[in-house]
Structure 1
Amino acid sequence: MNFVIETSSGVRSIAISNPAKRNSLSLEMLDDLAQALKDADGDPTVRVILLQGLPGLFSAGTDYEALDGASDYYEREERLLDAIDGLNKPLLAAVSGPAVGMAVIILLACDMVFCGEHALFSLPFSAMGLVPPHGVAERLAACCGQRFAAEKLLLSEPISAEEALRLRLVNAVFPDEAVVRETAARALRLCRLPPHAVRAAKALVCSACRSDLSQARRNALEAHRVQCRTDEASLARAAFLEGRKPDFSIEGQGS
C-alpha cells in the first residue's frame, strides 16, 4: 500500500507515499484510499481524518502510465469521491508542493484544506484535451465563482498558494515546514470539541453545498467519457506521455 497510516490522539493521518511517481494515483491506490477513509470513519478511536502527501508534495494526480486501457478508472475515482462525500467525520488536508488534476478534485471535496507557501494547484484537463470530470466545475465555481472557475479550467493555468487563498480554495497558507503541524493542530482542536456536534455541523455544511452535486458529477462523467474518445484527447495524452506539448493551434491542426 502506497500510504502511511497512523493514529494519534483521535487523529487518523493518511499520507500518500508514492514518491517514485510523485504520488500519482494508480487504480489500486484509488481503492486503497477509499477503503482507508471508510476504515477511519468507522473506527471509534478516530474523530478527525488528516490527508497529506509524503515527502514534500501532495499528488501529481492520475497515473496515466498505469491505466493500461482500464475502462473503469473513472468509476473508481467516483467511488473514492463517494467515500469522501460519505464521511461523517471531518476530513482535513495538508498540502505541500504540487497537487494536480484528480488530487485537486479530492481537495475540493475535503472539509478544510491548508497549504504551504510553495504549494501549487493545477487542473490541466482542457490542456490535455479532456473535460473536467466528477463535478469539479461545480465545486470550483462554488468556491471562487463562475469567472475564476472558467479562467482556471479553460486556460489550465496553475494556481499558486497565495492565489488559492484568494480564490477560497484553501483555508490558510503556512510556511512549507509548518503546514502539516498547523493542520494537525486544527485536527486536535476538533478532537477536543463535542464529537456529535462537530459531525452534525459538518453534515449541515455538506448538505448546503452538495444538494445538486450528485447529478452534476454524473453529467460531468458522461461528458468526460465522450471527450476521452476524441482525436484531440488521444493526441494530448500521447504528447503528455512523451513529455512534449501538443499543438492545437489553427496552424498546428492544418486548418
Structure 2
Amino acid sequence: MIEYEKLNGGLFTITINEPSKLNSLTLSDFTRIAKLIQQADADDEIVAIFLQSTGKFFSSGAQFDYFDEIERMGPEKKEQRLRSDIATMNVYVADVFAQHRKPLVCCLNGPAIGLAASMVLLCDIVYAMNEQVYLLFPFSSLGFAAELGCSVTAPSKLGINRTSEHFVFSTEIQYEEMVQARLIAKNFHLPPGKTAEFNSQVHTLIQQSIAGKNRQAMLDIQQLLSQRDALVRAQGRETGVTLPFWLHGEPLKRFKQLQTKQRKHRL
C-alpha cells in the first residue's frame, strides 16, 4: 500500500505501508511512487519530497504474487506482459527519478532490497534510523541484471570496485560502508519500533533546514547536481540487458524457488 500526505511547510510524504509483508512492492507500486513524485513536483506549494516506510523494513523487494500470476500465462501472453511490465516500468520510473526537480529525501528505517534499494540510491538525501539499515542488490542471485539506474547511481556513490563486488556477488551494503561513502547524511540512532518517530524527526529537520531559504535557488541547485543525462542513458541500457533474463524465465524460476523454500532467502 502506497500512501501520501501533504504536510505543513511544503513537505510531501510518500509512504510504503505494508509492514506485515515487510513492505514488499508490486510493479504497480513502483509506478504509483513515480506518479506521486510527479504530482509533488508539479505542486508549487511543495518544497521537499519524502520517501519513507513503516515497520522494520524499508522494503524487502518485489512481491511473490506477481510472479505467480505471470507463471500461469501462456508463452506469448507471458512475453507480452513481461515486456510491458519490466521494460515500461523501469524506463518510466527511472525517468521520473531522473527528471525530478525538488529535493527527494529518503527516510531509511531498515533494509532495502532490489528495486527498493535502487530507489534509495536515486534519492538526493538519505537519513538512517540506526545502524541496522543496509542495501542489497540480489540481481545475480535472482538471475537478472541491474535495474532502475543503479548501474550509474551505485558506482557514483560507492565507487566502481565496491559496486562490482556487491552486484556480482549479491552481498549486502552495510551501514558502515554507506557511512564511509557519505551516502548516509545522518544517523538518528533510534531503536527498532520507532519508525514513526524517526520519520517525524526527519520531517522536522528538513523543515528547519529549508526555513528562510530561497525556493528557486534550491530548485536550481537540485538541477545542477542531478545525474539526469547519465540516468536516462542507463535506463535504456539496463532494460536491454535485463529483459532477456526475464523472457527466458530465469528470475521467475528463482522467485518460485524462494517462495517454495527450495532456495534460501537472504532475509
TM-score, length of structure 1 as denominator length? 0.87
Q: Find the counterpart in structure 2 of residue 119 from structure 1.
A: 133
How many residues were matched structurally?
Answer: 244
- 1:230 and 1:168 map into 2 onto residues whose CA distance is 38
- 2:211 and 2:27 map into 1 onto residues whose CA distance is 32
Q: Find the counterpart in structure 2 of residue 80 from structure 1.
A: 93
SS at 2:95's partner residue? helix
SS at 2:58's partner residue? coil
Structure 2 residue ranges without an equivalent (≥5): 71-80
The change in CA–CA distance for 1:221 and 1:33 in structure 2 (over 3 A counts) is same
SS at 1:30's partner residue? helix
Question: Any idea what the Cα deviations from partners look like across 1:204-233, whole Å, max 9, x if unmatched?
Answer: 000xx3433322221111110112234644
Within 5 A, what are the aligned runs for 1:54-133? Answer: 54-67=54-67, 68-69=69-70, 70-71=81-82, 72-74=84-86, 75-117=88-130, 118-133=132-147
SS at 1:212's partner residue? helix
Q: Find the counterpart in structure 2 of residue 226 from structure 1.
A: 244
Following TM superposition, the consecutive aligned residue runs of length 4 or more in structure 1 with deviations greater than 4 angstroms are: none
The counterpart of 2:220, out of the listed 185, 191, 200, is 200
The change in CA–CA distance for 1:205 and 1:5 in structure 2 (over 3 A counts) is same
- 1:36 to partner: Cα distance: 1.4
Amino acid at match of 1:214: V
Q: Find the counterpart in structure 2 of residue 150 from structure 1.
A: 164
- 1:233 and 1:25 map into 2 onto residues whose CA distance is 16
- 1:89 to partner: Cα distance: 1.0
Amino acid at match of 2:114: G
- 1:126 and 1:22 map into 2 onto residues whose CA distance is 22
- 1:210 and 1:86 map into 2 onto residues whose CA distance is 6
Contact 1:58 1:96 in 2 (8 A): yes
SS at 2:116's partner residue? helix
Contact 2:4 2:14 in 1 (8 A): yes
Contact 1:99 1:120 in 2 (8 A): yes
Question: Any idea what the Cα deviations from partners look like across 1:104-142, whole Å, max 9, x if unmatched?
Answer: 111111111111221121111111111112331221111
Q: Find the counterpart in structure 2 of residue 136 from structure 1.
A: 150
Structure 2 residue 11 is matched with structure 1 residue 11? yes
- 1:242 and 1:227 map into 2 onto residues whose CA distance is 21
When the two chains are superposed, the root-mean-square deviation of aligned CA atoms in Å is 2.1
- 1:73 to partner: Cα distance: 2.3
Point out the more displaced range, 168-177 or 38-47. 168-177
The change in CA–CA distance for 1:46 and 1:212 in structure 2 (over 3 A counts) is closer
Q: Find the counterpart in structure 2 of residue 32 from structure 1.
A: 32
- 1:89 and 1:112 map into 2 onto residues whose CA distance is 11
Contact 2:57 2:109 in 1 (8 A): yes
Q: Find the counterpart in structure 2 of residue 212 from structure 1.
A: 230
Amino acid at match of 1:240: L
Contact 1:161 1:173 in 2 (8 A): no
Amino acid at match of 1:83: V
* Larger helix fraction of residues: 2
Percent identity, please: 22
Question: Any idea what the Cα deviations from partners look like across 1:51-101, whole Å, max 9, x if unmatched?
Answer: 100123211122242242242222223312222222111110101111110
Contact 1:50 1:187 in 2 (8 A): no
Amino acid at match of 1:245: R
- 1:159 to partner: Cα distance: 1.9
- 2:22 and 2:184 map into 1 onto residues whose CA distance is 21
Within 5 A, what are the aligned runs for 1:170-189? Answer: 170-176=184-190, 177=194, 179-188=198-207, 189=209
Structure 2 residue 262 is matched with structure 1 residue 244? yes
- 1:183 and 1:41 map into 2 onto residues whose CA distance is 20
- 2:161 and 2:115 map into 1 onto residues whose CA distance is 21
Structure 1 residue ranges without an equivalent (≥5): 247-255
Amino acid at match of 1:146: I
